[in-house]
Amino acid sequence: MKSAALLAVLEPTAAKLYDRHMGVAKEWFPHEYVPWGRGRDFDPERPWSPDDANFGDGGWTLPEAVRTSLFVNLLTEDNLPYYTRDISTLFGGESAYGAWARNWTAEEGRHAIVIRDYLMVTRALDPVALERARMQQVRGAQVPAPDDLYEALAYLSMQELATRIAHRNTGKLIGDQAGQDIMLRVGNDENLHFLFYRDLATAALEVDPSSMMIGIERAVRNFSMPGTGITNFNELAKQIASAGIYDFKIHHEQILEPVVLRHWKVKDVAGLSGEAEVAREALVARIDKIGRVASRLSRQPEKV
């Protein structure tokens, strides 16, 4: 089925999912989460130091891997214009799809606002390095690029859930209640976004199981976190994985198993074409392999 035809068939479902989202999404205000009382002016003549960080009276120090995760998480949120561009291209700007894309953009925009304000007030990151990285990231305009609507639905489902997990796990490692609350709040938004895409993908799997199975297989095979374009991203991702924020084991146990295997039930989908059957076999084999690799890596001693 062509993308335009699939979108037309799924539009009533998209409308229901959008209405559901608007019924449960909570209004919140970034300024209410930021501990402004800790802030002070920056001196352009004095370079930032990790010792400048202010997390209240607890004497807590931000681990480097958590600092790295906050850096990557914020830069991916900063790349919002290009995600909006691609989502609008995929779905179009009319009907429920356009309404969803615009509301999604507005909600995602709050994430960069609140995380950046928190990092500036607490001086958790070097503001000059962060701004230079933002400029590079947005100038580069790089985002993961699924081949078609089917792969995009699967990728967006997994990516939103992965982002939720990364934000929440980062928050758990921040020894500061304000930081924990912010990352939990942002993660809650990402969870609702995940549910929209997951359930729209579920409907697509029912309408065109063969094309969707092929799309899911490609999405799993090509999956990467939305850090494309960040300088030295692979090394940063290793640091994030070493802290248990997002690693192979989490990807397998909290993304592939619950969503692909249990929710979409890819092993049970009937009526597949020959090409789709080949894709399913490759998909299941890949998930099994990821599970084995994740198990082996998790048994290796952690590097301190």
What per-residue confidence (pLDDT) applies to 75?
95
Residues sharing a CB contact under 8 Å with residue 42, sequence separation 6 or more, in sequence order: 127
What per-residue confidence (pLDDT) applies to 300?
62
| Separation CA 282–CA 214 (nearest Å) | 10
Answer for the pair 151, 219: CB distance below 8 angstroms, yes or no.
Answer: yes
The conformation of residue 30, written as its DSSP 8-state character, comes to G
What per-residue confidence (pLDDT) applies to 229?
80
Q: Tell me the mean pLDDT in the region 209-229.
A: 92
Cβ atoms within 10 Å of 177's Cβ, excluding its own: 12
| Separation CA 195–CA 299 (nearest Å) | 32
Reported as type and span, the H/E element at residue 58 is none
The domains located in the chain, with CATH, are: 18-37+61-299 (1.10.620.20)
Residues sharing a CB contact under 8 Å with residue 175, sequence separation 6 or more, in sequence order: 55, 58, 60, 62
| Separation CA 73–CA 158 (nearest Å) | 16
**pLDDT digit string, tens, across residues 71-84:** 999 999 999 999 99
**pLDDT digit string, tens, across residues 48-103:** 999 898 887 666 788 999 999 999 999 999 999 999 999 999 998 789 999 999 99
What per-residue confidence (pLDDT) applies to 109?
96
Q: Is the pLDDT of residue 44 over 60?
A: yes
What per-residue confidence (pLDDT) applies to 227?
82
- Which pair of structure tokens corresponds to residue 253? 């146990």
Cβ atoms within 10 Å of 271's Cβ, excluding its own: 7
